Amino acid sequence: MKVVIIGGVAAGTKAAAKLKRENPGDEIVIYTKGKDISYAGCGLPYYIGGSIETEGELIVNTPRKFMGLTGTEVHTGSEVVAVDPTAKTIQVQGNGIETVSYDKLVIAVGAESSVPPVEGTSLPGVFSVRTPEDAISARKYAVEKACKRAVVVGGGFIGLEVAENLMARGISVTVLDMASQLMPNIFDGEMADYIRRRLQEKGMRILTGTGLNAIGGEEAVSNVQTSTGVLPADMVILAAGIRPATRFLADTGLEMDRGCILTDEYQRTNLPDIYAVGDCCLVRNRITGKPQWSAMGSTANIAGRALALNLGGEETSYQGCLGTGVVRLADNLNAARTGLTEEQAKAAGYQVISALCVTDDKAHYYPDAGMFITKLIADADSHRLLGMQVIGGGAVDKMADIAVVGLSMGSRAEDFITMDFAYAPPFSTAIHPFATACSILVNKMSGRLASFTPAEYASGAAEEYRLIDAHPASTLPGGEWIDLARPEAFAQKHAREEKLLLVCARGKRGYLTQNKLRALGFTNTRVLEGGSTFNTIKKALPVGGKLPPEEIKRVKGLGCLQDKRYGDVFNVRVITRNGKITAEEHRCIAEAAERFGSGEITMTTRLTMEIQGVHYENIDPLIAFLAEHHLETGGTGSLVRPVVSCKGTTCQYGLTDTFDLSGKIHERFYEGYHQVTLPHKFKIAVGGCPNNCVKPDLNDLGIIGQRVPMFDYSKCRGCGKCQVETSCPVKVAKVEDGMLKVDGGACNGCGRCKGKCPFGVTEEYIDGYRIYIGGRWGKKIANGRPLDKLFTSEEEVLDTVERAILFFRDEGITGERFADTVNRLGFDYVQDKLLHAEIDKTAVLEKKVKGGATC
């Protein structure tokens, strides 16, 4: 039997290899238009990011290797352009047109990138991510062009994987999608929204509900024009979707639905002896039995193997897909799903009930323990499990695989509760997290648990409920705290029919509180599923409109400073890169000021921008709005503070590009050390010359551009009027006894004397930087003292800044400024540490430090 296979990636090569093993005597021939076969399509984003280092690692099998292993005949660079089902032939275009006959034909052409129909998609710097060539070109471009800003069009699995990997290369990334959420039809809205918030916290800018209008640029891409504004971009990744590569089959008589070939459970099409498998065809949903497109490498391989068995004479049905998927979204943020979403289950006619819970992913005391956020969807009538979604830092795939088995077997939620899952502290909890999630769902279906889902809460279902804080200690602003150990005291103050929303960190204490209140006769309590860990709690002012001191301290840590004239009004600091922001960011801040504040904006001395007059209840919406536009608030606390600098090279005296250097310091130490607590605040300033306009020597660490003269006194002629002496602004150059003399210790390295001597005394200079440590302004002003070394490169400066921060964290005392640390330990000791000593960065960062800054 001669079996011809069109397509040589996942499904095609899998079917060929298995069929050749089953029937070695069959003639198996693959035609594929690409140069590669059996490549790792799912690994392309990780090649772009560098996790996969070499191009060769993307190729699972070369044509030569595959033919040698399997005995299959492979023709690359051979595009099938026509199929004649009646004659049982295909037309192949390679060096010419060839007609090839078949006994059985397998169509495994896969899918191709769906390029949006807008201008600019062919510009250099615009890439799809479908083939190894795409990934290789994108990575090469990012490196060679030193790309700093990327726009990824599409918020699905591939788009987010590419975004994560571009960020790993140090590129600032914006993801945009036309849908109202990330990963539509993959995750339910509240799960996708949690993922969005987490990714934005990690620095990824996400714009949903945003259409792509055009890609702009002259010789290469420079911007992306969207329905909500223009985004600067050095490169663009198009990951907005794929479509079956089946256009050449339009006149064959094959039954298709929107380009997808229709097949039965044996991969048979409506035409005799023609089969289809992989991304080019529809399969069945294993739960609903309805046709579904499952463009996944796993589906292609599984179905390809089943097809090979069918062709080999062993009738094997592919029983359908569950839409299972898993994705790494960022460091310590993974997500997986399988089965139906809540909306899909409702559309299929089920009486849907869901439960969301937050659990430990392994024994809580184990060093790398994290959490799972699990959402289960079930049929309320039969209790049959219909779907699962999970987010966490660990093995979310294990949770998904357990669900896959249960869904495939038609299991009920109750069936999982007593299953004998593996347990040891490094791997799981004593009661498996999946079993715990099922127990919570069963409690809800049985009525033991009365709750609001996060989606219900977000839609306003709890607006008439009093917020009850069920944390171990008072935590929620505006909430009334209940002591779980003394519920009777709470019961004395409330009517038994009062509507109470019980909110704790994850949901467990809320459930325990509900049980105790029920025993005391309360009839209208609801637990918020996922608690404050998953939900954004809508804050309310306490009675009287006054915020407790601990809440004022908390929001201050977010960069929100209280207007002392009012109890609930704040000025919110927006971090800038040394006062420099884009026109689009200006517009965003202005809109935020109008929507959430008084409409006024001020600049601070640290070159941050403050939105004035923000009422307390508007703080969270304001911060969320800014995050959507890649802006953040902050600049308070025992941390590295926003960096300031003078105008640098735009000043007539400027010796160095202070904007560039301060930008690098901002990125590496304000952003990079944003979660590193120090004994007190740590302020950094960069001055472009010794004029000290931004007072670098009054900061914890100051950097001043230098142009140090290397005088050649042998050329001095002892002029009656010395131009060097005349030009010296600090008057340390003098002619004495017919010769120029300069006090090197008093020279401030301003470089103003460069070229002033007509005989060449002042021609040679060393450009560099002085670093001052231990400065401070405020109530106890202290002038910093320069380190003895002249630093001649930015990398030396950046290394010393980091060493100073680590030294302060390691040897500073809580509550003391860096100036106090220098005075306590002695300048010479600190200088030696910064210039010569070895510093164990890992050990210092692992050390527990309590901050002492109050503003």
Please give the structure tokens belonging to residue 600: 């006024």
Q: Just give the CATH number of 644-710+764-846.
A: 3.30.413.10
Position 543 scores a pLDDT of 53
State the residue for tokens 């060539």: 133
State the Cα–Cα distance between residues 703 and 385, nearest whole angstrom: 62
Residue 668 has φ and ψ, to the nearest 5°, of: -80, -35
Q: Answer with the residue of higher pLDDT: 855 or 592.
A: 592
Q: pLDDT, tens digit, for every residue of 416-453? A: 999 999 999 999 999 999 999 999 999 999 999 999 99
Find out whether 553 and 527 touch, Cβ atoms under 8 Å. no
Closest CA to 603 of 558, 642, 554: 642
What is residue 155's DSSP assignment?
-
Q: pLDDT, tens digit, for every residue of 727-768? A: 999 899 999 888 998 887 788 899 889 889 999 998 888 899
Position 540 scores a pLDDT of 64
Q: pLDDT, tens digit, for every residue of 4-53? A: 999 988 899 999 999 999 899 999 999 998 888 877 778 889 999 888 88
Question: Which residue(s) pair with 574 in the sheet?
Answer: 609, 633
Position 798 scores a pLDDT of 96
- Grade residue 498 by pLDDT with cuts at 50, 70 and 90: very high
State the Cα–Cα distance between residues 33 and 37, nearest whole angstrom: 10
Contacts of 144 (CB under 8 A, 6+ apart): none
State whether the Cα torsion 258-260-261-262 is positive or negative: negative
Whether the predicted pLDDT of 90 surpasses 80: yes
Domain ranges of the chain: 2-112+244-311, 115-240, 332-446, 452-534, 551-628, 644-710+764-846
**Stretch 501-511: mean pLDDT:** 95
- Grade residue 655 by pLDDT with cuts at 50, 70 and 90: confident
Give the neighbor-by-neighbor strand order of the sheet with 149-153.
Answer: 126-128, 235-238, 149-153, 172-177, 205-208
Annotation: CATH topology of 115-240: FAD/NAD(P)-binding domain (3.50.50)
Whether the predicted pLDDT of 542 surpasses 70: no
Please give the structure tokens belonging to residue 325: 């998927």
Position 1 scores a pLDDT of 92
Contacts of 417 (CB under 8 A, 6+ apart): 435, 438, 439, 442
Please give the structure tokens belonging to residue 486: 């003394």
Three-state SS annotation for 417-466? HCCCCCCCCCCCCCCCHHHHHHHHHHHHHHCCCCEECHHHHHCCCCCCCE
Helices (H), 541-657: 549-557, 583-596, 619-628
- Grade residue 541 by pLDDT with cuts at 50, 70 and 90: low
Q: pLDDT, tens digit, for every residue of 367-404? A: 889 999 999 999 999 999 999 999 999 899 999 999 99
Query: 298: helix, coil or strand?
Result: helix
What is residue 650's DSSP assignment?
G
Query: 644: helix, coil or strand?
Result: strand
Please give the structure tokens belonging to residue 244: 């079956």
Q: Helix, strand, coil: what percent of the chain each, to 5?
A: 30, 25, 45
Q: What percent of the chain has pLDDT over 90?
A: 69
Query: How would you class 796 by CB atoms within 10 Å of its CB: exposed for 0-12, middle for 13-18, buried for 19 or more?
Result: middle
Position 526 scores a pLDDT of 97
Please give the structure tokens belonging to residue 42: 């799912």
Whether the predicted pLDDT of 809 surpasses 90: yes
**Stretch 582-586: mean pLDDT:** 88
State the Cα–Cα distance between residues 463 and 713, nearest whole angstrom: 82
State the Cα–Cα distance between residues 641 and 207, nearest whole angstrom: 28
Q: How many CA atoms lie less than 13 Å away from 574 in the CB half-sphere?
A: 30
**Stretch 322-327: mean pLDDT:** 94
Position 41 scores a pLDDT of 74
Contacts of 309 (CB under 8 A, 6+ apart): 18, 22, 315, 316
Tell me the CATH architecture of domain 452-534: 3-Layer(aba) Sandwich (3.40)
State the Cα–Cα distance between residues 449 and 291, nearest whole angstrom: 36
Position 545 scores a pLDDT of 62
Q: At what angle do helices 10-22 and 297-311 cross, to 10 degrees?
A: 30
Closest CA to 407 of 385, 425, 434, 375: 385
Position 63 scores a pLDDT of 83
What's 551-628's CATH class? alpha beta
What is the pLDDT of the chain when averaged over all its residues? 91
Calculate the CA 706 to chain-centre distance. 39
State the Cα–Cα distance between residues 580 and 600, nearest whole angstrom: 18
Find out whether 460 and 472 touch, Cβ atoms under 8 Å. no
Question: Which residue(s) pair with 207 in the sheet?
Answer: 176
Question: Which residue(s) pair with 702 in the sheet?
Answer: 685, 772
Q: What percent of the chain has pLDDT over 70?
A: 99
The answer to which of 254-263, 536-545, 579-588, 693-702 has the lowest mean pLDDT is 536-545
State the Cα–Cα distance between residues 739 and 530, nearest whole angstrom: 80
Position 479 scores a pLDDT of 85
Within this chain, domains 2-112+244-311 and 115-240 share the same CATH topology: yes
State the Cα–Cα distance between residues 334 and 164, nearest whole angstrom: 11
State the Cα–Cα distance between residues 640 and 675, nearest whole angstrom: 9
Three-state SS annotation for 342-381? HHHHHHCCCCEEEEEEEEECCCCCCCCCCEEEEEEEEECC
Q: pLDDT, tens digit, for every residue of 355-369? A: 999 999 999 899 889
State the Cα–Cα distance between residues 167 and 705, nearest whole angstrom: 31
The one-letter amino acid code at 582 reads T
**pTM to 2 decimal places:** 0.74
Residue 67's CB is within 10 A of a number of other CB atoms, namely 15
What is residue 683's DSSP assignment?
-
Position 649 scores a pLDDT of 66
Q: pLDDT, tens digit, for every residue of 223-278? A: 999 988 888 999 999 998 889 999 999 999 999 999 999 999 999 999 999 999 99
Find out whether 368 and 349 touch, Cβ atoms under 8 Å. no
Contacts of 846 (CB under 8 A, 6+ apart): none
What is residue 643's DSSP assignment?
P
Which runs of E-coded beta strand occur in 692-837?
701-709, 733-736, 739-742, 765-773, 785-786
**Stretch 313-339: mean pLDDT:** 92
Q: Just give the CATH number of 332-446.
A: 3.30.390.30
State the Cα–Cα distance between residues 765 and 709, nearest whole angstrom: 4
Position 88 scores a pLDDT of 95
Residue 119's CB is within 10 A of a number of other CB atoms, namely 12
Whether the predicted pLDDT of 711 surpasses 60: yes
Annotation: CATH topology of 2-112+244-311: FAD/NAD(P)-binding domain (3.50.50)
Q: pLDDT, tens digit, for every residue of 188-203? A: 999 999 999 999 888 8
The one-letter amino acid code at 392 reads G
State the Cα–Cα distance between residues 37 and 698, nearest whole angstrom: 63
Query: Distance from first CA to last CA of the chain, Å, rounded?
Result: 80
State the Cα–Cα distance between residues 63 and 8, nearest whole angstrom: 9
Find out whether 406 and 400 touch, Cβ atoms under 8 Å. no
Residue 176 has φ and ψ, to the nearest 5°, of: -125, 145
- Grade residue 297 by pLDDT with cuts at 50, 70 and 90: confident
Position 552 scores a pLDDT of 86
State the Cα–Cα distance between residues 477 and 567, nearest whole angstrom: 14
